[in-house]
Chains A and B, each alone.
Chain A
């Protein structure tokens, strides 16, 4: 394949016939450019969707309770449902294999003061897994751990904005603050991508909260991170089963949505996933259409080019060129042009996408880019199309008798 003389012939033919080389290259470059931009923008859309759900873990489920709205087993409506520690333990034991992360949550509003500064804040009393379910980012110190739970330690983790309120620029870690009249040690400071409200939050061990505020075993909600090995469908089935089981356990009518509900990210994810899938199908359809148009374009140009060169081929044959050498020359030239032009289109496309970056975030397009797989795939399609676009007409041209070819103008 590598024949220096052959390449010299091809480079000469390309460089001495700039217009036709540029024309055929332009078609391909343009097709690939559109293809790249199209895919990039859709990937940008898909990134936006992913970001929209980035606050909480993708595999989270929330068990929440309110009041019953349907009578059941002689129990009347309007009954307040209360989750307790044994419900938490029940979930933990019953669904062990399907759960990766598990935490209960008690919500309180507290007044926190440090020296002369004080304010009201939301408090979440939780298990250690809560950190990962809420995607809490620890900036300093640590999160709540099992030992804190066991010792019912009077420790607190505060949000970045709480720290700013109470301490300003001064260090806060390991300092003691007054929470509703009881002294707690700050063991960690966190930030959260979920926004200011999340960063104005505070966390403490659930056991501590249960002991100090009411001395009971009540919890407000149970948060679950299901096993990521589960498929979306399996996760949805799991969520539905959990909902049924808990309603049964708490004597709630099986269809009472208002009394107890399991909010399952898997369901939202499934919606997004099928939407993205549909979008990708549309884009693949349009994108392939663009590519096909490009391929047809270069085929047309190659047919024209070869017609134009018929006489040249006749001369070459009279001088002793074998048909295979003519076909080879044309195909190699065509592949070279498509590859270079395709590469240019691709580079320009990725460059434009990288320039767009996050500037179109308002239009729901975040960081658009194309994956290497698509790039490689498109390149292979290009080379193949260059091959076919060159081969078919060249084969025909090489078959023309030299005497006929020489007569051509």
Chain B
């Protein structure tokens, strides 16, 4: 599903450049539940942004769903994101003036789905994350956990190939963290590839494979007990 070979990325800082990713090799198959662990500055967010087509890599190869990602313009990237990827962010990134239902329906709007069908599908997904009764509330009327569940519903609504979650529990307390992780596991159990970035051991422990990143290189890549249980 995601295949990365010798990936490099650096950011210019004035005249110098900061080498963030120094040759990453990673292969994630369909249906995996992977977490990327690392302290801040390890390059994990950069990796997710490249995987999520929100940023471009400098060197190496990246195949998404078998397709080589190279020299994408904004338009093509937008189409691929809409088609293959669902995002869950640490800060939720819901649009503040839209209701929960409208937020979930937004990716379908960019997919060109008619309004009625859009709202119907969005409602199904809100129901799936247990927020059907909150459909017409604005984000600032929801708790952090609820917002993140709305964001997850929004990530899922287009039936993407991969869900990318950037510190999805970073802004949540431990109970809601567990709820959100349970939800992500359920999604994975339904066969979706889930790719989580975190710096919390407990969160990573709930995934099936942990990739540890330090200073731009992978230092370990192992399966957890959860994967053996299945």
Taking CB atoms, residues of chain A closer than 8 Å to B95 are: 312, 315-316
Q: Is the CB of B49 within 8 A of A403?
A: yes
What residues on A are CB-neighbors of B55 within 8 Å? 401, 403
B110 touches A321 (CB 8 A): yes
Known A5-B109, A5-B115: A319·B81 in contact at CB below 8 Å: yes
Q: Is B140 an interface residue when CB atoms closer than 8 A count as contact? A: no
Query: Is A317 an interface residue when CB atoms closer than 8 A count as contact?
Result: yes
For B75, give its contact among A4, A17, A323 (CB under 8 Å).
Answer: A323
Q: Which of A382-409 contact B (CB under 8 A)?
A: 398-399, 401-403, 406
How many angstroms from the CA of A396 to the CA of B111 in the assembled complex?
Answer: 24
A4 to B97, CA, bound (A): 19
**Interchain CB contact under 8 A, A401 and B79:** no
Neighbouring B residues of A8 by C-beta, 8 Å: 115
> Is B89 touching A12 in the complex (CB atoms < 8 A)?
no
Across the interface, which residues of A come within 8 angstroms of B98, CB to CB?
12, 16
Secondary structure of the B side of the interface? Answer: helix
Tell me the residues in window 1-47 of chain A with beta carbons closer than 8 Å to chain B beta carbons: 4-5, 8-9, 12-13, 16-17
**Contact assessment for B78 and A317 in the assembled complex, using a CB-CB cutoff below 8 Å:** yes
B93 interface hit (Cβ, 8 Å):
yes
Considering only residues 304-348 of chain A, those with a C-beta below 8 Å from chain B are 311-312, 314-325
What are the residues of chain A within 8 A of B223 when measuring CB–CB?
none
Interfacial residues of chain B within 93-130, with CB under 8 A of chain A in the complex? 93-95, 97-98, 102, 106-107, 109-111, 115
Contact assessment for B54 and A403 in the assembled complex, using a CB-CB cutoff below 8 Å: yes
Q: Which among B74, B107, B115 is the interface contact of A319 at CB below 8 angstroms?
A: B107
User: What residues of chain B lie closer than 8 Å to A321, measured between beta carbons?
Assistant: 78, 110
Q: How far is the CA of A316 from the CA of B107 in the complex (A)?
A: 8
B227 to chain A, nearest CB (A): 29
Q: Are A324 and B75 in contact (CB under 8 A)?
A: yes
Complex: A315 Cα to B93 Cα, angstroms: 6
A-contact 0/1 string along B50-91, CB 8 Å cutoff: 001011000000000000000000110011011100010100
Q: Is the interface of A mostly helix, strand, loop or mixed?
A: helix
Q: Which residues on B sit within 8 Å (CB–CB) of A323?
A: 74-75, 78
Closest CB-CB distance, A292 to chain B, in whole Å? 32
Given the known interface contacts A12-B97, A319-B81, A322-B74, the answer about A401 and B54 at a Cβ–Cβ threshold of 8 Å is: yes
Q: Is B154 an interface residue (CB 8 A)?
A: yes
Structural contact, A13 and B97, CB atoms closer than 8 A: yes
- Complex Cα–Cα for A323 and B110 (A): 11
Closest to B158 in A: A320
A312 to chain B, nearest CB (A): 6
**CB-CB < 8 A to B87: which residues of A?**
318-319
Q: How far is the CA of A320 from the CA of B87 in the complex (A)?
A: 11
A322 CA to B81 CA, complexed, in Å:
10
Give the B-binding residues of A (Cβ under 8 A): 4-5, 8-9, 12-13, 16-17, 311-312, 314-325, 398-399, 401-403, 406
A sample of 22 inter-chain contacts (CB < 8 A) reads A4-B115, A5-B115, A8-B115, A12-B97, A16-B97, A16-B98, A17-B97, A314-B93, A315-B93, A315-B94, A318-B87, A319-B81, A320-B79, A320-B82, A321-B78, A321-B110, A323-B75, A325-B110, A398-B74, A399-B74, A403-B54, A406-B54
